[in-house]
Amino acid sequence: MEKREQLYEGKAKKVFATDDKNAVIVSYKDDATAFDGAKKGTIVGKGVVNNKMSNFLMQILEKQGVKTHFIEELSDRETVVKKVEIVPLEVIIRNISAGSFARNYGVEEGIVFAEPTIEFSYKNDDLHDPLINSYHAVALKLATKEEIEQIKAMAFKVNAVLKDYFLGLGVKLVDFKLEFGRTADGEIVLADEISPDTCRFWDKDTNEKLDKDRFRRDMGGVEDAYKEMMKRVFGE
């Protein structure tokens, strides 16, 4: 696999072309942003944690029948993935109230839901990623009705698999954000990343936060939290 020109640089990753027109290389950075880019910083070692953890989780999900973009891990920070057209929706699943849910609906964090919830945001920086419902997404032609149904089913399946998996590591999967893409053949696959940047992880016994909220909320111990999650997943 030959790495060619940079196609794109996002907040946390760079994307490079390869000699395969259906594959790209993603390179994970240590750069962190929050609050729509208003807060910027560095979380030393984050790129390595997110790359390795995301790849590992995607392989678990593949075994459980969830199609993903993952092809091959090249190094600590670089991975070959299927080239996809990203569906411009952030798909958020919640098991426990936190973050914007608690804020928007005036409830405390930590309420355990009887059933997981799903919501969508329209990925659009100029509009600041507004909440959107599935009818609006179809009206705006962000995805077809069939694709939305498939994305919903895949997102709940991801939750069922990962919730159990993390509980086995002594971690509550509070909520998380997924992104999906269309391959050249028009297949919907799980894309982007699954990491402490995109999930809320709370220790099962102490509710200690082990994710990017430590950065968002200036709690300190951010690097240690990422390292702790790495240790839970991969051992010493």
Binding residues for ligand UDP (CB under 6 A): 90, 92, 98-101, 175-177, 198-200, 212
CB of 101 vs ligand UDP, minimal distance in Å: 6
DSSP code of 196?
T
Judged by beta carbon, residue 82 or residue 172, the one nearer ligand UDP is: 172
Judged by beta carbon, residue 1 or residue 111, the one nearer ligand UDP is: 111
- Phi (first) and psi of residue 169, to 5 degrees: -100, 10
CB of 153 vs ligand UDP, minimal distance in Å: 19
Judged by beta carbon, residue 163 or residue 200, the one nearer ligand UDP is: 200
| Rounded CA separation 169/151 (Å) | 27
Judged by beta carbon, residue 184 or residue 219, the one nearer ligand UDP is: 219
> How far are the Cα atoms of 196, 224, 229 from residue 236, in angstroms, in the given order?
18, 14, 11
| Rounded CA separation 197/49 (Å) | 10
Cβ-proximal residue to ligand UDP, closest one = 99
CB of 58 vs ligand UDP, minimal distance in Å: 16
Residues 196 and 210: beta-carbon distance below 8 Å = yes
**Six token digits for residue 207:** 């509710």
CB of 23 vs ligand UDP, minimal distance in Å: 24
DSSP code of 199?
E
CB of 185 vs ligand UDP, minimal distance in Å: 27
Beta pairing class for 171-182 and 131-132: unpaired
Judged by beta carbon, residue 78 or residue 90, the one nearer ligand UDP is: 90
